[in-house]
Amino acid sequence: MTATEGTKRPIRRALVSVYDKSGLEELAQGLHAAGVQLVSTGSTAAKIAAAGVPVTKVEELTGFPECLDGRVKTLHPKVHAGILADLRLEDHRRQLAGLGVEPFDLVIVNLYPFRETVASGATPDECVEQIDIGGPSMVRAAAKNHPSVAVVVNPAHYGEVLKAVADGGFALDGRKRLAAEAFQHTAAYDVAVASWFLDGYADDATFPDFLGATYSRKNVLRYGENPHQGAALYVDGSGGLAEAEQLHGKEMSYNNYTDTDAARRAAYDHSEPCVAIIKHANPCGIAVAADVAEAHRNAHACDPLSAFGGVIAVNRPVSVAMAEQVAEIFTEVIVAPGYEDGAVEILARKKNIRVLRCPEAPSNPVEVKPVDGGALLQVTDRLQAEGDDPAHWTLATGEALPTAELAELAFAWRACRAVKSNAILLAKDGATVGVGMGQVNRVDSAKLAVQRAGEERARGSYAASDAFFPFPDGFEVLAEAGVKAVVQPGGSVRDEQVVEAARKAGVTMYFTGTRHFFH
C-alpha cells in the first residue's frame, strides 16, 4: 500500500439524500457530533432537523427551489461540482474557490424504490415517477471521484461511517470499496428500469432486445461441480431455491443446488402430494399419493439403490411420518415448502442431511442457458402445452383407457418430463417403477427403463416417451416387457410403423402432439 492509499481523508461536509430513512437520525446526530456539516434534500433535511441536528437545505445551497414534484432537487452545478472536484488537483481546488463551491467529502444517498413500486402493481406513470434521476447522478459522481469522496448507498454501513469519521475519515481502499458498491447499486437499478421498459412497452416482449440480469453473491461454495472448480452462489432477489432457508445440516454444495433445483422442478409438476428423488439431475423415483409419506415410500421403492444419497423434493409440507422414513435413508438434501411440527427434529437426527425450506414453487418464466459467446433464452417448460392434457390426446391405436388408467398414463407423461432425454419412463399406481434416461438412442432408454423396473413391475405398467419413437424398435422393447399403454408425442415419419407395432402387440398408444426434451 502506498502512502496515498493509506492516507485518510477527513470528513468535514456531507451531502445526505435518502429515500430509505432508516438509521438517519443516529447517523445525522453522529456526524454532527463529529463536527461534520450536513447538506440535505427535502424530507431528508426535515427529518434531520427534527432530530435536532443543524442542516442546510440543498435549495439554500443552490439558490434554486426543488421543483417539478421532486424531479429536480440536486441536479445543479453547485451540488455536482462539489461532488466531482478532484481535490488532489490544485487547479480543481482553485476553480471551486473561484465558483464559490464547497466540496463534499461524503455523499450518502439511496434511491427511489423502483423495483418495489413495479412489484406493487403500480401504474406505468407511478413507476416512471419512481425512476430516480438525481440520486444515481450523485452516486455515480461520488463513486467516480472516490479519490476525494466517500459514497454510501446502504444504511447498513452507517455504523462504519461514524467510526471512520471519528478515525479521521476513510482511506483510499475504503473509498474504493464503497465506490464499487455504489456502481453495483446504480447498475442493478438501471437494469431493473431497462428491463421494465421492455416488459411494459416492447411489442416482442417475450424476447427482449436486451437481456439484463444482476445478481449479488450470497456465498462462496466449497467448490464447483468438481473439487478443482471454484464456485459461488448468487441471488437475483426473487427468492426461490437460491434463497431457501437452511434449517439443518452441512453447507449446500454446487451439485446439491443443481440436483435440488431438478428435484423441485419434478415435484412441482404434479398437483397431488408428490415426492421426487433425484441423483445427478435425474429421477430415481417420483410418486404422487394421498399423503407425502406414502408418496415418499413409493418414490423410494422405484430404485432404492440409486436413491441412496439422493436429493428429495416435496411439493407439500413434510409430515412427521415422512420425516421418520427419510431419517432411515442416507439423503443429501430435502427441500419442502414447510415441515410439520417435529419433522425437522426427526430429520436432524442425521447430522449431515441438509434440510431446506423454500415456500415458493419454482416460478422462473424463462430459462437462460449460457453458450460460448452468448446465452440462449427460452420460455420455461411447465407442462403448459395443450398436449399435456389427456383430454387433448389422440388415441393412435388400441382400446381407449378408462379414466383411472388414463390418469396413470398422464402421471407417466408428466413425470417423464423430469427425465433427461432420451427419456422412457414406466409407472404404476402413481409412481415411477423404471426410468431410462440420458441415452443417445431411445432403444437403450427403453431397455434401461425395463431393466430398472424388473420383469414383474414392467408388466402392466404405463409407459411414456419424452419424444416420438423414430422406429418401432424402442416401442417393441416396451411391448415385450408387457406394458399396458404407451404415451408419446407422435410425429415421426415412421409413426405408421410404430402404431402398427402397437396394434399387433395389443398395446394402447396415445399421441400427445407435444414433446418434452430435457437436456
Ligand X SMILES: NC(=O)c1ncn([C@@H]2O[C@H](COP(=O)(O)O)[C@@H](O)[C@H]2O)c1NC=O
Q: Would you tell me which residues interact with ligand X (CB under 6 A)?
A: 17-19, 41-44, 70-75, 109-112, 132-135
Name the residue among 365, 347, 367 with its Cα closest to residue 356: 347
Beta carbon nearer to ligand X, 138 or 464: 138
- Catalytic choice (21, 144, 176, 250): 144
Say whether 144 is catalytic: yes
CA torsion sign for 466, 471, 474, 478 is positive
Beta carbon nearer to ligand X, 135 or 310: 135
d(CA 61, CA 92): 19
For ligand X, which is the closer residue by CB, 142 or 415? Answer: 142
* Cell (9 digits) for 256: 446439491
**DSSP H or E run through 160:** helix 158-166
Report the distance separating Cα 321 and Cα 324, nearest Å.
Answer: 5
**DSSP assignment of 26-86:** HHHHHHHHTT-EEEE-HHHHHHHHHTT---EEHHHHHSS--BGGGTBSS-SHHHHHHHH--
Smallest gap from Cβ 50 to ligand X, in A, equals: 13
How far apart are CB 107 and ligand X at their closest, in Å?
11
Q: Which is nearer to ligand X, 109 or 326 (CB)?
A: 109
Of 111 and 287, which has the nearer Cβ to ligand X? Answer: 111
Packing angle of the helix pair 495-505, 472-481 (nearest 10 deg):
20
Please state the closest distance from residue 41 (CB atom) to ligand X, in A: 4
Tell me whether residue 50 is exposed, middle or buried, using C-beta atoms within 10 angstroms of its C-beta: 0 to 12, 13 to 18, 19 or more: exposed
Beta strands in 121-237 (DSSP E): 150-152, 216-221, 231-235
Question: Does the annotation mark 270 as catalytic?
Answer: no
Q: Beta-carbon neighbour count of residue 85 at 10 Å?
A: 22
CB nearer ligand X, residue 179 or residue 479: 179
Please list the residues that pair with 276 across neighbouring strands: 286, 313
Cβ–Cβ under 8 Å, residues 34 and 162 = yes
Q: Which of 8, 21, 280, 350 is catalytic?
A: 280
CB of 141 to ligand X, least distance (A): 12
* Residue 71 CB, nearest approach to ligand X (Å): 5
Cα 115–120–121 angle (5° rounding)?
A: 105
What minimum distance in Å lies between the beta carbon of 188 and ligand X?
15
d(CA 308, CA 285) in angstroms, rounded, equals: 11
Residues annotated catalytic, as ranges: 144, 280
